[in-house]
Amino acid sequence: MTAWYRRLLAIFALSFIWATGWCSAPDAPQPWVPLELLARVNADKLHVNLPEGDWQWLRDKRVLVVGVTAPDYPPLDITISGAELEGVTADYLGLLSETLNVKMEVRRYPSRAAAIEALRAGEIDLLSRATSFEVQAPGLQLSKPYSVNQPVVVGPQDLYLANDDQLAGKRIAVVADYFSREELSSYYPKAEVVYFDSVRRALESAALGQVDAYVGDALSAQYLISQGYLVNLKLLNFASFNGAGFSFAMKSSGSPLLYIINQALDSTGAQQRLSIQRRWSVGGVFSISNHRLILTPQEQRWLEKHPRPRLAVNQTLAPLTFFDSQRNFRGIVADLLDLIQARTGLQFEVRPTSSLPDLLTQLRRGSVDALAAISPSPEREEQMDFTRPYLSTSYVILSRKSNEWLHDINDLKGKRVAVAQGSALVPYMHANFPDVHLVEVDTFADTLPLLQDGRVDAALHPMLTATFMITRYYQDLRIAASLDRDPVQFSMAVSRGEPELLSILNKALLAISPEDMANIIGRWSVSGAAPDSIWEGYRSQFYWLLWSGLSLLALILLWNWYLLVKVRNRELAEQELQDRLEFKRALIDGIPQPVSVRDAEGRLLSCNRAFLEATGMTQETCLGTLLRDCTWLAPEQAEALHAEYLQIMADGEPRAGDRVMVFNGEVHKVYHWVTPYRRHKGGELGMVCGWVDVTERERLLQLLEIAKEQAEAASRAKSTFLATMSHEIRTPMNAVIGMLELSLTRSKCGSCKEVGPIEVAYESAKSLLLLIGDILDVAKIESGRLTLLPERAKLRELIESVARVFDGLARQKGLQLKLEIETEAACDVLIDPLRFKQILSNLVSNAIKFTDQGSVWVRVAGEPLQGSRLALEVCVEDSGIGIAEEDQRQLFEPFSQVSHSSRANQGGTGLGLNICRKLAEMMGGSVRLESTPGEGTKVQVKLVLQVLEPIAEVEPAINFLAPVPRSSMRILIVDDHPANRMLLAQQLQHLGHNLVMAMDGGEALQLWRPGEFDLVITDCNMPVLSGYSLARRIREIERENGLARMPILGFTANAQPDEISRCKEAGMDDCLFKPISLEHLRVHLEHIQRTSEVVPSAPVEALPEDDLDFHSLAEMTGDNSDLIRSLIVELISSNEADAGLLEPLLQTQDWKRLGELAHRIKGAARLVGAGLLRDCCAELEKACVDHAEFAEIRRCVQQLQRALEALQGRLNGYLQQLDEGRSPSELGAPAQRRHDKPATA
């Protein structure tokens, strides 16, 4: 029965325990407290580069839970009213939240151990201010540091710490979770380490002397020393170890959170980090921001309705709130109110009270609208609303200095302790220390006299006010210890019926930065300027009166001596003033230009000697006069200038400028200036004016301008003279050369036996034409009218073409012409090929001319530069006679030759090297000559060229067309020069054409009838009606009658490139230059005949056979048949490849590449003197550059194909003749090739 009863009782007890536990389980409190994040950052959103998977992880996560721990770790983790988190961590969390677009949920845990367990359990994602010491346990990992952790040693102001050895035997305070205890023991083996749960407790123990020093991070230490009023502490030195920084701790898992946080922290710029660091650091210049806050309409209306809200302050709570001897409100709150007023416009009406109960009573009755400084409590929060705290300080225990037995609160058991009535300390002491006998007084200030008189054993006081009062008034008291409880926080309070005022105050307090708050507190520290009390005010007055009484006797005795010194100083000052006036007078008189000073009305006050000399007046007669009263200036000018002076005084701005003035009847051009001068306190007093006579300078400038115009006119006259003389010389030379060419042509047909004299005359005439061309080139270079025409060109082809031309000449003299081209120089470049070949031809020609034996080397080197450029160096070196050093300096001058040289009879104009140098300089390069007599000469040309990308080649099928046969044309020739008219007639008759002649444009217009002539060839400059006007008139008749366009050719001796454009603008089809060879004339006529006869729908006709210059090939190869055969075979192969490219490029309408292809074929045509093919290429190239119509370009392609096919046939026939054993020299030479413009040597 007993056993059964016991079992039943046990079951009942277990059931009761289980039911009790089950029922109470849901009511168990959670171990953390939620906090609202208060971030003080206003930066732009950071840009973080994250993979899309990480962004998706964040979107799924949406909220990151962050853990912080108690107690606070300012300024990293600061808890406000147990509901908000601010500080360095909060600022970085705000940045992360904005950047990663996630919400930050903050939880405060009671200890670091609880927070770490929550992190391991996955309840939180991040843990703030973590160090490497805390993550030594497995399962945790650290992000990159977000705040520095520089360990320092903090100690008393009078302690000097040179090294760690001085800490031997000392007590060192350290926060428990700051660093590994084993490592700290190794750093300070001979010191006693005392661990505290918070930085504030550790620093306060050092300030109270309970420990000798504190070791921790510099940021929190410096912050709390300033905020906590720990003015007896300072940073002694750096610790002997380094901290790794404060980071976010997180659970080691497969989530991308660590990578995301690190990337976000890395994206934080240095400026943003410095801003956060500065915000929570102590120091800097104290300043009050003038920026006004943005208020809601309700708050703005409340301000308008309550412009001066009433504020109750406790006048005994120094240095927070008190009144000085003049009853001025002063203290930390007073400075804080100034900041609030600057940001909101609130002007408080301050009402003093003498105790805390009186303060609360006035707010309850509605006598005031707000309280200045009060600590929140649950009971008070039921009656009023509190703003966010603006100051926190610890509670401390005060005792007399003689009471050495008091070390902490436990020593007060059974003792009498004074405390302020209504303070939050009263219930705290009753609940935690009931054995302490509390003596309640009205204010905290009343506790100090009781303690000093010995009526109580200790007093409880806020540390901020206690330090202030003890330092100034109660030097016999000391701070014995601090209370082990949360620090008291001071806020402002408002009645429950004023929510707008509460909101305005919270906004204003939130806008005050920690730097400003620290500076305010620092201002009221012991070392700062502290205010005086009533006693201080009276004591200063008493001391001042005492000092005044004692000093009065001394002042009476020294009065006479003072007067004597003052009189003497006055005499010295007057003398110095006279010296300055004399110096100013000498300075003004020393100015060589007239200078005067006038008052605001224009009256003359002072002037210099130059003014008197210029006006002819004396010092006595001119002072006090107005400008309009003067006789030395023309009356109308004097009146106008006086009015201008008055206007300048009214405007107050200086004025200066050139003007013409009449002084005593003489006209002068002057630079006149006026500058107003003002009084010391503002206002115009007068003006300083003067002028500089520039008459002589203007005269010299006019003479210089006339000389400049005369020089420019002479230059233009020279250019006009050269162009005119060239034209006038070419006109008769056209007849001379043309007739000689006809005579030579007929002599070869057997009509004349005396060929030698004619050939000499013909060659001399051509040399004279070359001289004219060189003179024109020099003239155009000097006048700046010679322009470069850069285009795509292959450097190797340009250089090799010049070498091929001169290779035959070198062989005739028994010389070797050697060509060396580096690979870097064999590329496409942008260059003017004509001018480049002109430079190279001149140099090679000179080298061959002055070399009798040996070799001539042409070396081409290239060095690639940045920006697709090429540094080209062309060196022409020979083994000739050389040039003496004294002769080298004149070689580059126009018309200069080495006259005493043994080769002075080689001929030439002496312009070649001059032209080469100037052309090279126009291309941005240079020419340098080195020569030694008897050894040879070396000329270097250096250019910097733009390298072009090579063009890809296309090899389609070849399509040849049949040639077009020749036919006779009826031609109207117009020329006012009889010899030229007769020459042109004989040339056309020799070519088998019918012609009609006219003496001028008027006669030609009468002879011309539509359809009667196939072609008109006209001189450009003629009396009665010029060639330009004739062409325009014919075109008008054709347009008016709807007639087909008849070809018109201009024929002029003005061999200028712009002459062709003028002819085409007048309506001509092309322009020929005098003199013109039979070959050149024949080619142009055949070209016109082809273009006028080819119709798209008509069958394709054959082109006339083209005369080829095989004789030049023979000269270049030294009459070597094998070499000629190889060249012609290569030319035929190249022509076949180029012909196959024409049709594909036409169909794709690639005009750029088609024009380049035509240019390449034209080079091959020049090699064998195929003038017809060359003209076809030139026409196609121009059509492509001008983007002509498709039909026009097709026509040009077709005629080019026919000319190319005809050339291929001629080349194959020439090969057949070579295979039959005929030598190249036996095959004959064609007519002389044309010269669009005389070539220069």
Any idea what the CATH number is for the domain that residue 170 is in?
A: 3.40.190.10
Asked whether the predicted pLDDT for residue 38 surpasses 60, the reply is: yes
Do 130 and 71 have their domain in common?
yes
pLDDT value for 610? 85
8 A C-beta contact, residue 741 and residue 1077? yes
- Written as six digits, the tokens of 907 are 């001929």
Across 679-699, average pLDDT: 80
pLDDT value for 902? 46
Do 943 and 808 have their domain in common?
yes
pLDDT value for 34? 93
Asked whether the predicted pLDDT for residue 662 surpasses 70, the reply is: yes
Cα distances (angstroms) measured from residue 1196 to each of 648, 681, 1087, 1091, 1146: 76, 88, 11, 9, 10
pLDDT value for 290? 41
- Written as six digits, the tokens of 453 are 């008189």
pTM value > 0.75: no
Phi, psi of 681 (to 5 degrees): -100, 15
Residue 880 located in a structural domain: yes
Across 879-889, average pLDDT: 76
**From the centroid of its chain, how far is CA 361?**
67
pLDDT in tens, 921-963: 888 899 988 888 888 889 999 999 988 888 765 443 333 333 3
Tell me how many degrees the CA angle 625-627-628 measures, rounded to the nearest 5: 105
Q: Which residue has the higher pLDDT, 667 or 435?
A: 435
pLDDT value for 398? 93
pLDDT band at 1189 (very low <50, low <70, confident <90, very high): confident
pLDDT band at 730 (very low <50, low <70, confident <90, very high): low
3-class SS string, 486-553: CCEEEEEEEECCCHHHHHHHHHHHHHCCHHHHHHHHHHCCCCCCCCCCHHHHHHHHHHHHHHHHHHHH
Final residue before a domain boundary, out of 894, 914, 948: 948
pLDDT band at 1119 (very low <50, low <70, confident <90, very high): low
pLDDT value for 16? 43
Asked whether the predicted pLDDT for residue 682 surpasses 80, the reply is: no
Phi, psi of 143 (to 5 degrees): -80, 180
pLDDT value for 782? 59
pLDDT value for 788? 76
Residue 12 located in a structural domain: no
3-class SS string, 268-301: CCHHHHHHHHHHCCCCCCCCCCCCCCCCCHHHHH
Residue 1082 located in a structural domain: yes
Residue 14 located in a structural domain: no
Beta-strand ranges (E) seen in 168-285 are: 171-175, 192-196, 213-217, 233-238, 247-251
8 A C-beta contact, residue 1209 and residue 1172? no
pLDDT band at 516 (very low <50, low <70, confident <90, very high): confident
**Structural domain of 667:** 591-693
Across 1074-1094, average pLDDT: 76
Do 870 and 902 have their domain in common?
yes
Final residue before a domain boundary, out of 693, 727, 745: 693
pLDDT in tens, 1157-1185: 888 888 777 777 787 888 889 888 888 98
Rounded Cα gap, residues 110 and 868, in angstroms:
70
> What DSSP line would sit under 586-646, residue for residue?
HHHHT-SS-EEEEETT--EEEE-HHHHHHHT--HHHHTT--GGG-SSB-HHHHHHHHHHHH
Helix-strand-coil split of the chain, %, nearest 5:
45, 20, 30
Q: Which residue has the higher pLDDT, 227 or 689?
A: 689
Any idea what the CATH number is for the domain that residue 877 is in?
A: 3.30.565.10
Tell me how many degrees the CA angle 46-47-49 measures, rounded to the nearest 5: 140
Q: Report which of 952, 991, 957, 955 is spatially closest to residue 971, judged by C-alpha positions.
A: 991
8 A C-beta contact, residue 403 and residue 457? yes
Tell me how many degrees the CA angle 872-878-883 measures, rounded to the nearest 5: 105
Rounded Cα gap, residues 362 and 756, in angstroms:
138
Residue 455, classified by CB atoms within 10 Å of its CB into exposed (0-12), middle (13-18) or buried (19+), is exposed
pLDDT value for 770? 59
CA dihedral 714, 718, 721, 725 (to 10 degrees): 160
pLDDT in tens, 813-871: 888 888 999 888 888 898 888 788 878 888 888 888 888 888 999 999 999 998 888 99
Rounded Cα gap, residues 335 and 768, in angstroms:
102
Do 680 and 727 have their domain in common?
no
pLDDT band at 192 (very low <50, low <70, confident <90, very high): very high
Rg for the chain (alpha carbons), in Å?
55
Across 312-321, average pLDDT: 89
pLDDT band at 793 (very low <50, low <70, confident <90, very high): confident
**From the centroid of its chain, how far is CA 115?**
51
pLDDT in tens, 60-74: 999 999 999 989 898
Q: Which residue, chain included where needed, has tokens 């001189």?
A: 1019
Do 498 and 598 have their domain in common?
no
> What DSSP line would sit under 907-919, residue for residue?
---S-HHHHHHHH
pLDDT value for 619? 80
pLDDT value for 763? 58
Do 88 and 170 have their domain in common?
no
**Beta-carbon contacts of residue 635 (< 8 Å; ≥ 6 apart):** 628
Q: Provide the pairing of β-strand 233-238 with 329-330.
A: unpaired
8 A C-beta contact, residue 201 and residue 482? yes
pLDDT in tens, 244-275: 789 999 998 878 999 999 999 988 876 677 67
Do 264 and 115 have their domain in common?
yes
pLDDT value for 51? 92
Q: How many other β-carbons are positioned within 10 Å of the β-carbon of residue 1070?
A: 16
Question: Quick one: DSSP state of residue 77?
Answer: B
Tell me, what amino acid is at 162? Answer: A
Final residue before a domain boundary, out of 433, 454, 486: 486
Across 614-643, average pLDDT: 83
Q: Which of 119-123, 577-581, 1190-1194 has the highest mean pLDDT?
A: 119-123
In which region does residue 87 sit, left (phi positive, over 0), alpha (psi from -120 to 50) or beta (all else)? left
Rounded Cα gap, residues 166 and 171, in angstroms:
11
Do 316 and 444 have their domain in common?
no
8 A C-beta contact, residue 77 and residue 68? yes
Residue 559 located in a structural domain: no
Q: How many domains does the chain have?
A: 9
Do 990 and 1088 have their domain in common?
no
Do 793 and 903 have their domain in common?
yes
Any idea what the CATH number is for the domain that residue 1095 is in?
A: 1.20.120.160
Q: Which residue has the higher pLDDT, 2 or 648?
A: 648
Rounded Cα gap, residues 805 and 841, in angstroms:
9
Q: Which residue, chain included where needed, has tokens 């509670």?
A: 395
Residue 854 located in a structural domain: yes
**Beta-carbon contacts of residue 253 (< 8 Å; ≥ 6 apart):** none
Residue 582 located in a structural domain: no
pLDDT value for 1? 43
pLDDT value for 133? 80
Do 1095 and 1225 have their domain in common?
yes
Do 435 and 315 have their domain in common?
no
8 A C-beta contact, residue 200 and residue 224? yes
Q: How many other β-carbons are positioned within 10 Å of the β-carbon of residue 62?
A: 9
Across 13-35, average pLDDT: 57
Asked whether the predicted pLDDT for residue 873 surpasses 90, the reply is: yes
Across 1033-1053, average pLDDT: 88
Asked whether the CA dihedral 591, 593, 594, 599 is positive or negative, the reply is: negative
HSE-CB at 200 with a 13 A cutoff on CA atoms is: 26
Residue 705 located in a structural domain: no
Any idea what the CATH number is for the domain that residue 1061 is in?
A: 3.40.50.2300
